[in-house]
Amino acid sequence: SAAAKDGYDYFMLKEIAEQPKAVADTLLGRIGADGELSLDQMRLSDEELREIDKVVVVACGTAYHAGLVAKYAIEHWTRVPCEVELASEFRYRDPVVGRQTLVIAISQSGETMDTLMALRYAREQGARVLAVCNTNGATIPRESDAVLYTHAGPEVAVASTKAFLTQLIACYLVGLYLGQVRGTKWGDEIGSVVRDLSDLPSKVDQVLETMEPVRSLARELAGATSVLFLGRHVGFPVALEGALKLKELAYMHAEGFAAGELKHGPIALIESGMPVIVVVPSPRGRSVLHDKIVSNIQEIRARGARTIVIAEEGDEAVAPYADHLVRVPECPTLLQPVVATVPLQVFACEMASARGFDVDQPRNLAKSVTVE
């Protein structure tokens, strides 16, 4: 009903708008005044977490993209090797998991059969399983050793938005918590990241306030046949998520690539006028990556691509090569997916509605897939 949508045309729009609150609610109560993290249903002892020698994330769809971001954060903050695997592949390839493996199962619904079967397999091998889930008491958290609930609230639209942002937050919290318990050399950095996390709700809000140009661009490009997404580092999973959203909602050919792979094949796809969305890492910090992606943008533009560039405020180096520039607030590289994903959600949603499709109920898809 219209009332349930709070005046929005679609649940997806409502859920996109709820993201600042979803992020804030997922952080709530988990960061103490001293910056120490406490995760309510962690249930794994510090001792057990210190014994972990490998993390394996299993998930499907959008949740898998959150897992890809988790890998960058967890390895950087904890120095514990982290793999990410599509849940549907995991148990069929004889993966190396055992008592010292922490398996993180990410699932909004907590009922996805592929993810559930992966976690059952992991437990049979003796692994400890931590669920990141948005649904209280769902099967996946019930069958896990520990749970970190995301507090996105009920998500109705089939395409995940606010649940994804909170999955990112949960992954950061797990990574930082592991770092805290294990006392890694990133101890000092952890304190400052914890402060940066608290700034994210207002940054997401800022992004939401500047989305009108993204909506009109989506309407303008509604006739495109193909859209490419490029990113590097944590911008790569963001590119994959942007492409998935467009496939799910606008039924359009869309692909996400690691920008460094462009020259190894995908650049052959570039045609005159083809929209290419590029997620640009911060020029501060990992500036080498920034410079490389700027030259990628120049390369695709020289081949006729229409470049839509998502870049941090104050990043002037990209401006000359951007046909359309979408600004996101400054934040540390690892946290950038929280702000950079939002324009891609808005873009896909608007594109789908411009093409006349049902944004909340895309064809052939289900909110929760309970078959393998």
Q: Which residues bind ligand G6P (CB under 6 A)?
A: 60-63, 107-109, 112, 115, 158-160, 365-369
- Look at residue 261 and give its three-state secondary structure: helix
- Look at residue 54 and give its three-state secondary structure: strand
Instruction: Give the nearest distance from C-beta 65 to ligand G6P in angstroms.
Output: 8
**Residue (26 or 108) nearer to ligand G6P, CB:** 108
* Pairwise CA distance, residues 73 & 67, whole Å: 10
Instruction: Give the nearest distance from C-beta 340 to ligand G6P in angstroms.
Output: 18
* Active site annotation includes 263: no
User: Of the candidates 133, 309, 337, which has an alpha carbon nearest to the alpha carbon of residue 234?
Assistant: 337
Amino acid at 291: D
Which residue's CB atom is positioned nearest to ligand G6P?
A: 61
* Pairwise CA distance, residues 65 & 238, whole Å: 7
The single residue of 5, 54, 247, 367 carrying the catalytic annotation is 367
Q: How far is CA 255 from CA 220, 228, 319, in A?
A: 20, 5, 24
Copy the structure tokens of residue 22: 């979803």
Chain centre to alpha carbon of residue 164? 6
Phi, psi of 275 (to 5 degrees): -70, 130
Instruction: Give the nearest distance from C-beta 17 to ligand G6P in angstroms.
Output: 18
DSSP-derived letter for residue 281 is P
* Pairwise CA distance, residues 69 & 151, whole Å: 19
**Residue (64 or 186) nearer to ligand G6P, CB:** 64
* Pairwise CA distance, residues 81 & 100, whole Å: 12
Instruction: Give the nearest distance from C-beta 69 to ligand G6P in angstroms.
Output: 14
**Residue (238 or 293) nearer to ligand G6P, CB:** 238
Instruction: Give the nearest distance from C-beta 107 to ligand G6P in angstroms.
Output: 3
**Residue (158 or 310) nearer to ligand G6P, CB:** 158
Instruction: Give the nearest distance from C-beta 185 to ligand G6P in angstroms.
Output: 33
Element holding 325 (H helix, E strand): strand 324-328
Which DSSP string do the residues of 210-252 spell out, in sequence order?
T-HHHHHHHHHTTT-SEEEEEE-TTHHHHHHHHHHHHHHHH--
DSSP-derived letter for residue 82 is E
Instruction: Give the nearest distance from C-beta 139 to ligand G6P in angstroms.
Output: 11
**Residue (267 or 369) nearer to ligand G6P, CB:** 369
Are 56 and 83 a contacting pair, CB within 8 Å? Answer: yes
Are 326 and 209 a contacting pair, CB within 8 Å? Answer: no
**Residue (146 or 194) nearer to ligand G6P, CB:** 146
Phi, psi of 182 (to 5 degrees): -90, -5
**Residue (77 or 90) nearer to ligand G6P, CB:** 90
Q: Just list the catalytic residues.
A: 367
